[in-house]
Amino acid sequence: MSNPADSADRVRRIMALHGLPASPTAASPIPGVENEVTMVGPSRDRYVVRWPRDLAGGDFTAEIWAADRARACGVPTPEVVAAGILDKVSYSVHRYVEGRDGGSVRSPDLWRTVGGYAAAIATVPLDAAAPDSLFSRFGRDLRAAWQAHLAYNLDALDDSDPLVALGVYTRSEQSRIRSAVEELVREPQGSPLRHGLLHGDLALRNVVVPDDGPPVLIDWGSATTGPVPYTDLLHLLRARETDGAPDDAELEAFADGYGVNLTAIRPQLESLRLLAAVDLVRWARDRRPDRLEATIAAVRARLRRR
């Protein structure tokens, strides 16, 4: 974490660069995992200033682009008023959204609204201006990238798969997982998977409910692309494993808001759940070995769950 005095100085300099109010007495830190977050300005003209907690450069380009394009498709998002680089560290400034945390007014109706937002986000055109970081290592052509992703996982599901030795799944379970991936490769005739933009972290903690307006979707730092609505639904199913939300009624409401029949898509959702589970371990093994043990335990439990 940055020194408080250094953080206050950085806030003042960022705000001054853009002619924005920066009263030191009106600045207050806000908890953030990846970023230093400070609310600044008088009560009726507040802003949120963010920069990477580790001061390692960072990049807000993708999340700003995604939120801006989603807003153009009718999704309420915070207005970004400034972004740039100061002392080789990226920063962003957006208007503070006054309202209640979505978790404090949790209801199926709110989840239905979030589902509608997710459906709108998926319609955002992914044109040449879309930042590369929104796409996977398999490229910007979402359909071709998805097929390459499936091929990679099929190739890995063989007799030498290190995930067996790690205890992620047993030899007897491999055929079930492989069959699930093969089903995804084939795709139901006439109804191929759709791909699009995703918020990446749909949760009521990332929804602000104003007193006099529609709910606002905040925190776009996990924006990405992938199969829709499946990626969102898988995220919600994982979330309920840890915090119990959304419950069954809320999940149904989300699907209703999105415009999909949850019962009809459950077979594909289950296949994607299996793929996502093993793929998460491969990611941790390659990119985050510090998370490998915990990831294996979570995925092992997930694979045993029917």
pLDDT digit string, tens, across residues 219-268: 999 999 999 999 999 999 999 988 889 999 999 999 999 999 999 999 99
84 and 142 assigned to the same domain:
no
Return the amino acid letter for 278: V
141 and 243 assigned to the same domain:
yes
Beta bridge partners of 94: 48, 80
User: Is the C-alpha dihedral spanning 232, 238, 242, 248 positive or negative?
Assistant: positive
Location of structure tokens 């950085």:
10
Two tokens at 206?
């990332």
67 and 186 assigned to the same domain:
no
149 and 111 assigned to the same domain:
yes
Domain boundary among 76, 95, 114: 95
pLDDT band, residue 56 (cuts 50/70/90): confident
Q: What is the mean pLDDT of residues 93-106?
A: 95
Reported pTM: 0.92
253 and 176 assigned to the same domain:
yes
What CATH number should be reported for the domain holding residue 13? 3.30.200.20
Residue 302 to residues 180, 232, 238, Cα–Cα distance (Å):
15, 17, 9
Q: For residues 130 and 134, what is the distance between their CA atoms, to the nearest angstrom?
A: 7
Two tokens at 19?
């002619």
Q: What is the mean pLDDT of residues 197-217?
A: 97
196 and 225 assigned to the same domain:
yes
Q: Domain residues for 88?
A: 4-95
243 and 177 assigned to the same domain:
yes
pLDDT at 54: 84
Location of structure tokens 């808001």:
257
Q: For residues 125 and 129, what is the distance between their CA atoms, to the nearest angstrom?
A: 10
55 and 76 assigned to the same domain:
yes
Contact 108, 250 (CB under 8 A): yes
Mean pLDDT, the chain, rounded, equals: 91
pLDDT exceeds cutoff 50 at 25 = no
90 and 110 assigned to the same domain:
no
49 and 157 assigned to the same domain:
no
pLDDT digit string, tens, across residues 132-167: 999 999 999 999 999 999 999 999 999 999 999 999
What CATH number should be reported for the domain holding residue 140? 3.90.1200.10
